[in-house]
Amino acid sequence: MVLKYRVKTSHYIKEDKIATALPILDIQEPGADLARKTVFIKFHLGLLGISRKVSSSQVEVDADKELIRVAKTLLDSPELQAIRTLDGDVRRFLYDTCLPFEAGIHLLPLGLLETVDKTLCEFKEKRRELVEVFLAAYPRLCQEAAGRLRTLHNPADYPPVEEVRSRFTFSWQYVSYGVPEQLREISARMFQTEREKAVQAMSEACAEVQQVMRASLLELVSHLRDRLADQPDGKPQRLRESTLQKLRDFLGTFDLRNVVDDQELKEQVDKARALLEGVSTDALRNMPLIRAQVREGMADLAAQMDVLVNDRISRKFRFDEA
């Protein structure tokens, strides 16, 4: 079968430009089904760099200066830090919503495409506002930097405002994964080789997606189980709303993200949904019977999920209480 998409393709200029993507895999393989259910996001954030190297000759230390590397910070700006914080939020959003593939490429289920696109547009507008706040403060920040850096200050390190504005880019593009048909016309051998590479890459992605989804549920369930356990003195541990919400978010988007049709995992997801149905964070904090019931249910789920997760992959999970 030949799989095709019509998707939004560019946010560099217009965010509603439509184009037909290249054909995907034309064979009956698990990877072909994954390609049919997903699209890739190429995402880029541009930011003003505020670090410059300093010659070791300008620094007095009791050490061999050949071994010393020194840098100066050009601006001390809470306005710029606010932009960096937002950028971290954007990356976490994509990390938590999309599925694993290659570094720098986000694999997005088509069912979440409109939601993700809308959220990215909102992030883009919020970032634009934060950039304007920073640019308004930029002249003052440059003056303050001159006074603080003294002999290390170099006016050439501080470009004009409009050039600084151009450094703050925020763009994304939806692309499909496949082998260009033009390659078949040039070389049948090269086309077949690239086709096999594409099949292999998508097949490996299927296995990794399954492992990531299983490991994610295990981590979330185990974390909630641990937070519901009593302290050594018998008092309940502190339970934040975010702990329960992260699990609810996973359960809420699971059906759209289950692009590999993992029925064993879906069975456990349904159990988790049943356990949390109608249960609030306040109830878990203040009602011992409900707290114990959910804790025991999460412990059973964690044990079952541990069986499903045969091979932990090197994906970092964020389940802090912050």
pLDDT tens column, 101-132? 877 788 999 999 999 999 999 999 999 999 99
Q: Could you list the beta-strand ranges (E) of the chain.
A: 6-8, 18-20, 38-45, 51-54, 70-73, 105-109, 170-175
- Please tell me the pTM assigned to this model: 0.75
What DSSP character marks residue 78? H
Taking alpha carbons only, the member of 6, 2, 37, 17 closest to residue 178 is 2
pLDDT at 46: 96
Q: What confidence tier does 191 reach under pLDDT thresholds 50, 70, 90?
A: low
Q: Who wins on pLDDT, 121 or 312?
A: 121
Render pLDDT for 150-184 as a digit per residue (tens, 0 to 9). 989 999 999 999 999 999 999 999 987 665 566 66
- Stronger pLDDT, 6 or 222, i.e. the higher one: 222
b/e burial code for range 196-210 (CB count within 10 A of at least 16 → b): eebbeebbebbebbb
DSSP code, position 22: P
What's the pLDDT at 280? 95
Distances from the Cα of 243 to the Cα of 16, 192, 208, 248, 304, angstroms: 36, 48, 25, 9, 20
304 vs 312, which has greater pLDDT? 304
Give yes or no for residue 316 having a pLDDT over 50: no
pLDDT tens digits along 239-281: 999 999 999 999 999 999 999 999 999 999 999 999 999 999 9
